[in-house]
Chain A
């Protein structure tokens, strides 16, 4: 098909969304008869995860999920339970796991072999091609093991080894309509969470980020806190994992939900633990717990644990000793590492797969929080497949039907001839980076504030460079201003005008800073006690027209910046001081119509500045309102100057 004309079409194919296929097989050319071989069109796809194996034939629609462990039960001393044999086990308390993986990489080779033996016994590969997944940058040592076991032990005739994100990528670009070939895949599994950008069909290795947080850590953390606070459940991994899946969810506004958990009973759930005589699986008991239930069963009261456990993905520092950045931040960092011209496409194609994405609210939270870290002009779309655990196997199934598939596999005789080095080379082609040479130095995200400072631009009618070499712009409370400061709110109102109608560039990479020289601030007043100002997550951005109720009592002071001439819209401006935002909670904008609130959309906290895009301004006014918090050392003190 296409492969035969490859020489001529090369330049055109750069824009083809099938680029993934046309670029990968660099070594060999696709066999001419590959698409005609009907007798071998079935293939076995095995996604070898740290917690479960996902397996299915390309010909049928089923995907089976098998535990990737060998388990030992306290009650049954005569046998093991391999994979789904555990369904035969009566008493699942104190289950002991033999897991092939260590940190997500196979390290107990005997255990893995036994699970695979069992799996292939159930799903014989016969002579069909086998697609098997491995973690990103799988160690060469493990790849050799896989070669040996697949080719020699299981006698596989044709093997394709790949990352599950590759299959996810294939499934996404071939099923999703559109011309996009760049996207970012967030794979949050049992052992870790990977963020993998794909640029034009290839993994962009410089942008890959691994967070060492996965389902195992979350379950173990939940076990630890429940054991300390309520009941010793350290040995009940199996039960607590189910409890996690049954009760935990991702809060949209973590702080608010925690407050709700603290002050009300809205969050709390009673979870009845299985005793494996009367109850085989734990469940959430709705309503009051009567004395009879409490006498006969063990009940765990799950309150803030419901949200704080999944929250570890967004704020890893919840677990003492973990300093990695949260998921939303990592997504933004990964995008920022990629070549500029692909970033918009990536933000538009964020794909969530893996078991942790099944937490209710996960997608919405990732959407809201990632939005805050992305440049304001980026559109953003998050996609979560219906079954995020099985999505990569779906991808493998469709990929096996691709005419190019065969040329990318390794045949048994090739392995026997050339050995493991050959397969290693063939299955790890992505390592080469053609388009952009690897850049170790990271491009710093663009910051308006830094830009203005560098240019010595006058934002608050003073030359930042000359007068204030310190990085913080300080607002000083003066005179009777303090009297009007009610200790709660400081409101700053900006009214900027631009002489020329703003140019509409969609999308405008690279970011063009507004032309400050055409803006003139004619009046400035600001009240804030004489400490660096810190935006915290309570910050609220409102339009001037929304401010009426707040305006009426004169306690709220509104310094105004005005520009000449009037009657024109603001471009992109807003910066408040150089202080770091306290937390990353979402900012809320009250909409003009009624009391409904909408999330901040594309406004953004970037390098200590708040930047609000043009489309958010209905009128020519912009008012920022926030509670000031002043930092001194590590303590938070709210002061009022006398």
Chain B
């Protein structure tokens, strides 16, 4: 048995230290992280439990004071049902149409990759990072930050 050098990470159990998260899981984690950055809300709809009850407020109720006279007024569900289409679908349609008309599409406008090496920041403290966590691939900058990372997010992060 080799002696463990007394550093911060001694408290890590041997079997934990061995565990390495595979590539596909890392990619899934990263994708989840990026999706969360695009999300409008982190939490669930606080009124979700009202859906079944009669009390659920209707959008259109909020506008009692409407003055314009409209003969063909449609409620908002009409539009959502008629036009429902996911973003992915719309991008696809756009690309097809762009190809037919020989114009740029949404996809073509995306900014190119940087000409410079990436600037890495420590996930724990935010300063410039030179090291990678072997287990999960997250960037850290020093042993102290690594320990924090290991004890909090590293293997415990649910995906």
Chain A residues proximal to chain B, CB less than 8 Å: 70, 72-74, 77-80, 82, 85, 94, 96-99, 102-103, 105, 107-111, 113-114, 117-118, 120-121, 124, 136-137, 139-142, 144-145, 148-149, 152-155, 194, 205-206, 208-212, 216-217, 220-221, 223-225, 228-229, 234-235, 237, 255, 258, 262, 303-305, 308, 315-326, 329-330, 333, 431, 438, 580-584
Contact = CB atoms under 8 A, between A and B. Distances in A.
Given A225-B126, A330-B111, 18 more contacts: A72-B47, A77-B50, A79-B62, A80-B57, A96-B41, A96-B47, A109-B79, A148-B79, A216-B40, A220-B38, A221-B37, A235-B41, A258-B127, A304-B126, A319-B34, A324-B110, A325-B112, A329-B114
A121 B152 CA distance: 50
A110 B110 CA distance: 28
Contacts of B59: 70, 80, 82, 110-111, 114
B109 A136 contact: yes
A110 B77 contact: yes
B110 A117 contact: no
Interface string B16-58: 0000000000000011011011111111011100100001010
Contacts of A136: 109
A325 B115 contact: yes
B83 to A, nearest CB: 5
Interface residues of B, number: 75
Contact of B42 (A79, A223, A225, A318): A223
Contacts, number: 220
B116 to A, nearest CB: 6
Contact of A318 (B70, B93, B121): B121
24 contacts: A78-B57, A80-B62, A94-B43, A96-B45, A108-B80, A109-B82, A110-B80, A111-B59, A113-B76, A120-B68, A139-B91, A140-B97, A154-B68, A194-B109, A209-B111, A229-B126, A258-B128, A303-B126, A317-B120, A320-B120, A325-B111, A329-B115, A580-B115, A583-B117
A98 B94 CA distance: 25
B70 to A, nearest CB: 7
A318 B129 CA distance: 10
A108 B81 CA distance: 10
A380 B91 CA distance: 35
A300 B117 CA distance: 32
When A and B form their complex, which 8 residue pairs have the shortest distance between CB atoms, in order from nearest?
A317-B118, A110-B76, A110-B80, A234-B42, A324-B111, A325-B114, A109-B79, A210-B109
B117 A582 contact: yes
Nearest to B122: A304
A66 to B, nearest CB: 14
A70 B59 CA distance: 9
A225 B57 CA distance: 35
B51 to A, nearest CB: 12
Contacts of A262: 127
Contacts of B127: 258, 262, 304
B139 A114 contact: no
A121 B83 CA distance: 23
Nearest to A227: B42
A210 B111 contact: yes
A324 B114 contact: yes
A142 B90 contact: yes
A468 B116 CA distance: 25
A322 B35 CA distance: 12
Contact of B79 (A118, A149, A194): A149
B14 interface: no
Contacts of A217: 37-38
A319 B34 CA distance: 9
A137 B105 contact: yes
Contacts of A110: 59, 76-77, 79-80
Nearest to B66: A121
B13 interface: no
A107 B87 contact: yes
A216 B38 contact: yes
A584 B38 contact: no
A114 B93 CA distance: 26
Contacts of B128: 255, 258
Interface string B112-155: 11111111110111111000000000110000000000001100
